[in-house]
Structure 1
């Protein structure tokens, strides 16, 4: 009954043992967790139907009348709240304990949740729970497609089901979470009720909008609390998520500056980041604490749940500090972005369904750099309402909503996302460094300018096509090339395609402006360039054949002679990646190493190289399609035979050290001129 539940002889979701009983139609349950439906039948013979009937039915009812049926897990009780969704694949212990989810029924879109269990509730030297964002679960309920009754991870100490039950949180599984998410996406955030059949209070339960209450007051600490950096070195991996950039070295001073952090629902990792990574003394105060007369070096406004308009006391206190101490650095995160905007005189609004997930793209308006961020909010700042002196700092690349604000002259700024979450994983750590520098250098004003450059206008572009394709060969170049041609057409640029294969998408009637059914060779391409006089050429959509052709044309000086600009990947970069020795040197400059290899142009050179590297070796033809003339060789005889074949396809072969037995992770990354990177795909 579910991908992580019962099987005839083994129940992988919880590590149980179930065998066939004396009656072939019955099952004998030998061992099983008690919180799983099978656990009620330990030592008994039962049928799969009886096991299925042991589940407690539950349903998710939405305000628009939609009903989704499933089964209860966690605590068997009914509840109500605002239904929202999170697109993260992992991180459910952190999400469920995030105070920003207070009052909400969380739909987790990943199909299987709980497969790595829940870690122990141990505390770090600051007294904070080391693996969670707060001391309790803040969601009203959890909605999943399926969940694992037992976790499999070295840090796991309990299951998701038992953890929810211990904290009094209900859940429902067996729900089509994709359908729920699409409904919310189209309709907007909806109020919902999770109804458990065994709960007698179902009939009296009414829809309740949590945003009509002051959620911040319910999650904020009641007393002021101070955290100081420990003496000596700190193991960042113990207290922080993985991060490579040393923020401390890029801006933190020797003395421990004193930060006052307003707790609107502050996450544990934010406190750890400020104290451990930035070495700051942090005093955390309740949301309604009057800090206008306190002494501190910088003001931090935390994340939190609900409508920022409910935090009127915090807004008033921030506004007073801005008026009394205009040189005091202020930094806000998530709800802190909205509070700072309200204090400045701007307005906020409720979003259709909010941004909640780990891969929200945000564009820095000062540099046009795009960053991958972690977010959890249902309200946003209206950028059009910002008063004079303020400007948008970040903008969401998906929906265009505000992701941060900054003052032109004052050291005040905030972001809507969570830079401490390390979604990038180091994308936005510079924001903390900027905050510390605002404190340590009072006269510092960060000024960023975008170099003025007018991109050249192209009228006609030549596209080197994918060439001949046979059965078994990948057609990704034909697909990507056809997309490039469509993009050229949308931009009003004339496209010329050279491709010898009539049976490709690139050569479809009406797609390109002109098609030459000729081989992609240097001589033919040069003739077409002289005839068509294009001002640009695309060489990366024709596979290895087009790359080889482009390299030779560059060496001949054809592009420079005819005024043709290579668009996309420069020829120099192509040569560097194709030449094994140049590639190895380039990788070494980044501090990494590649497998030992050698480039050879004859059989004898290959034999000598293999003897030096050691068998087995991997032989590949250079400047050729992947797999062409390649293979593993365990001895000189196999090597001589394969190299002769490889040299028939290429003038050079590459002899690599065999890495059989190692796991290979491959990422294909695209980068633009602004250093924005996108991982197109990854493989193991």
Structure 2
């Protein structure tokens, strides 16, 4: 068994992270107690941990934060991207401290405990991150026991038995189960989230795991948004007589979700409506157009990813969260690559050359730039205006 990484030897550990290769990390647990099994990734963002934990795209994953000070601004209801945390747990360098922020409503540990999510602090996150980069996103088991009693063999076995995300459709698990209207716009001082009251472009948003702030950006860009479940058919979508269709972010393997989503998208494309996709929506759109997707070694997760717009030459600082990517070499005729990652050259955007259909791999609504990528929502609205 590989070497064991431990915290302060004088303090009994209350949390254990077991990798499928047998490597163990001991630390101090916070949040909920118990065990969970998932894929492990790392995120390089310095802020936004609550947004990350509630991003449905993190279903089936535990997040290691490379920034050491996580939890110091607490949590509040306004920053949730969905009703409950979707990430299975979090790994941090330092134990969360008492929060110091005027918006704080609850400490991170209490927030996690009430929502059944495990946290672990006090470990060498640099070593863990290097392991992920070198070996790929590992399958892991995370346990938190205040008494420090762990069945190591059982934890390692559970990590090895985890099936992984390849071939796994998680969109159904995080999607809404029935349609609903959305009218909340982006946060503005001092009133918070204003409501959209004026009529706008009728947009159907397909919820593969949509973040709330994406829907807010659509509303702020002039859209009257109706959200449909991931399993909606083309007939379901077109029955709303939309001016445009939005394909949301989400978790899991795009090829698995594409089994039912690709036929829907192709039906929408036949109607020649403007289509805009983000993250998983980008990947499934690419599949519908005839391209392929592949699993990445460790994915892209962070708020500092430079992306180049090949058509304007501009560079955007973006937020990313994906473990699969579109194979740019597989793009068919009539589909062009519009954006690339300046970290590794991977595909970050496509568009059809003969109609207003486009998508990006990154998250423009997360606004790390902060406004570098908001033009994409405006572009979508402009395309609908042209056809009004």
2:205 to 261, 265, 274: 261
2:374 to 426, 429, 448: 429
Contact 2:234–2:263 at 8 Å: present in 1 too? Answer: no
Which of 1 and 2 has higher RCO (CA within 8 Å, sep 6+)? 2
State the match for 2:93 in structure 1: 145
Change (3 A) 1:229 1:160: closer
State the match for 1:418 in structure 2: 363
State the match for 2:38 in structure 1: 81
- Is residue 209 of structure 1 aligned with residue 131 of structure 2? no
Contact 2:183–2:216 at 8 Å: present in 1 too? Answer: no
What's the offset of the Cα at 1:440?
Answer: 0.5
5 Å matches for 1:458-469?
Answer: none
Given the two structures, how large is their TM-score scaled by the length of structure 1? 0.51
Alpha-carbon distance between aligned partners in 1 of 2:46 and 2:304, rounded to the nearest angstrom = 11
Contact 2:33–2:143 at 8 Å: present in 1 too? Answer: no
1:397 to 342, 345, 356: 342
State the match for 2:268 in structure 1: 321
1:375 to 316, 320, 331: 320
- Is residue 355 of structure 1 aligned with residue 305 of structure 2? no
Secondary structure of 1:345's aligned partner: coil
State the match for 1:285 in structure 2: 228
Given the two structures, how large is their TM-score scaled by the length of structure 2? 0.89
Larger radius of gyration: 1
Aligned pairs, number: 366
1:91 to 28, 48, 70: 48
Alpha-carbon distance between aligned partners in 2 of 1:426 and 1:73, rounded to the nearest angstrom = 35
1:103 to 60, 65, 76: 60
1:307 to 237, 253, 269: 253
What's the offset of the Cα at 1:236?
Answer: 6.2
What's the offset of the Cα at 1:200?
Answer: 7.0
What's the offset of the Cα at 1:334?
Answer: 0.8
Alpha-carbon distance between aligned partners in 1 of 2:14 and 2:187, rounded to the nearest angstrom = 49
Alpha-carbon distance between aligned partners in 2 of 1:371 and 1:359, rounded to the nearest angstrom = 9
2:117 to 169, 172, 175: 169
Contact 1:262–1:287 at 8 Å: present in 2 too? Answer: yes
2:182 to 219, 223, 227: 227
- 1:613-666 deviations in whole A, cap 9, x for unaligned? xxxxxxxxxxxxxxxxxxxxxxxxxxxxxxxxxxxxxxxxxxxxxxxxxxxxxx
- 1:539-582 deviations in whole A, cap 9, x for unaligned? xxxxxxxxxxxxxxxxxxxxxxxxxxxxxxxxxxxxxxxxxxxx
- Is residue 271 of structure 1 aligned with residue 215 of structure 2? yes
Contact 1:195–1:202 at 8 Å: present in 2 too? Answer: no
Alpha-carbon distance between aligned partners in 2 of 1:109 and 1:234, rounded to the nearest angstrom = 27
Q: Name structure 2 gaps, 5 residues minimum.
A: 1-8
- 1:495-532 deviations in whole A, cap 9, x for unaligned? xxxxxxxxxxxxxxxxxxxxxxxxxxxxxxxxxxxxxx
Q: What is the Cα-based RMSD across aligned positions, in Å?
A: 2.2
Contact 2:184–2:216 at 8 Å: present in 1 too? Answer: no
Secondary structure of 2:173's aligned partner: helix
2:73 to 103, 107, 116: 116
State the match for 1:611 in structure 2: none
